């Protein structure tokens, strides 16, 4: 029995050390050298160095003078990040979307883009399609007393083309640029 137990325990301790200590330290070290900003959370800072958030996590912006992200199923809390798991046939989802559409609707601008009404899979997606940002241009321009053309130029500068998928705009980075706009 001891002849079987000793090699099994030795192998378990060795694999625990390799997969639980050595491998994570090596991967963390490589990430810190190769991708330091991403490895440390892709933090966005203001001119004073204060952390405003992460470029990877959506934040709730309220008020007419900011571009709003898509809704969050977890109230933008990273601990509760998840989708709402409400099926398309669920009356609660239909009621929430209908209420949001009524709040966001702008006369003579067509239907509210779906990205402004539906949550992402994680509940924390910081990106919106450019069309969803442009839908908000008139509201933000009016609240800030800035020409819509100026905001359109700002939006154009913040359109990202991912390796896969359609173009997107990071709402946090766009709002940070908006705050610096004179």
User: pLDDT tens across 47-100, in order?
Assistant: 788 887 777 777 888 888 899 888 876 666 666 666 667 777 878 878 888 888
Between CA 45 and CA 37 the distance in angstroms is 12
Please, which pLDDT band fits residue 124 given cuts at 50, 70 and 90?
A: confident
Residues 10 and 76 in one domain: no
Rounded to two decimals, the pTM is 0.73
For the chain, report the end-to-end CA distance as a whole number of angstroms: 78
CB 71 within 8 A of CB 58: no
For residues 67 and 171, what is the distance between their CA atoms, to the nearest angstrom? 7
* Cβ count within 10 A of residue 21: 10
Closest CA to 127 of 115, 144, 140: 115
Query: ∠ CA 75-79-80 to the nearest 5 degrees?
Result: 45
Overall number of domains in the chain: 2
**Both 7 and 81 in a single domain?**
no
Task: Give per-residue pLDDT as tens, 125-167.
Answer: 788 999 999 999 989 999 999 998 999 999 999 999 999 999 9
Q: What's the confidence (pLDDT) of residue 159?
A: 95
Pair (136, 78) in one structural domain:
yes
Helix (H/G/I), strand (E/B), else coil: 170? strand
Reported as a pLDDT band with limits 50, 70 and 90, residue 25 is very high
Domain span at residue 31 reads 2-37
Rounded mean pLDDT of 14-32?
95
Same domain, 66 and 135: yes
User: Is the model's pLDDT at 12 over the cut of 80?
Assistant: yes
The answer on 15 and 85 residing in a single domain is no
Are 43 and 56 in contact, with CB atoms under 8 Å apart?
no
Residue 78, pLDDT score: 65
Q: Span 17-43, mean pLDDT?
A: 91
**Exposed/middle/buried for residue 107 (C-beta within 10 Å: 0-12, 13-18, 19+):** exposed
Are 106 and 162 contained in the same domain? yes
- In this structure, the answer to whether residues 19 and 47 fall within a common structural domain is no
Residues contacting residue 97 through CB under 8 Å, at least 6 positions apart: 117, 118
Longest dimension (CA), the chain: 82
């Amino acid at each position: 029995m001891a002849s079987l137990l000793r090699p099994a325990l030795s192998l378990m301790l060795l694999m625990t050390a390799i997969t639980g200590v050595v491998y994570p330290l090596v991967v963390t070290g490589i990430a810190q050298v190769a991708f330091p900003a991403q490895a440390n959370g892709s933090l966005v800072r203001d001119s004073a160095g204060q952390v405003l958030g992460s470029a990877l996590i959506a934040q709730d912006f309220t008020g007419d003078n900011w571009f709003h992200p898509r809704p969050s199923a977890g109230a933008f809390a990273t601990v509760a990040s998840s989708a709402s798991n409400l099926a398309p046939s669920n009356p609660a989802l239909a009621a929430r979307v209908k209420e949001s559409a009524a709040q966001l609707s702008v006369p003579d601008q067509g239907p509210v883009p779906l990205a402004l009404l539906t949550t992402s899979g994680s509940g924390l997606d910081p990106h919106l399609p450019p069309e969803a940002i442009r839908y908000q241009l008139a509201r933000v321009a009016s609240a800030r007393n800035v020409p819509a053309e100026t905001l359109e130029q700002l939006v154009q500068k913040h359109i990202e083309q991912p390796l896969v998928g359609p173009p997107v705009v990071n709402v946090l980075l766009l709002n940070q640029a908006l705050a610096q706009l004179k």
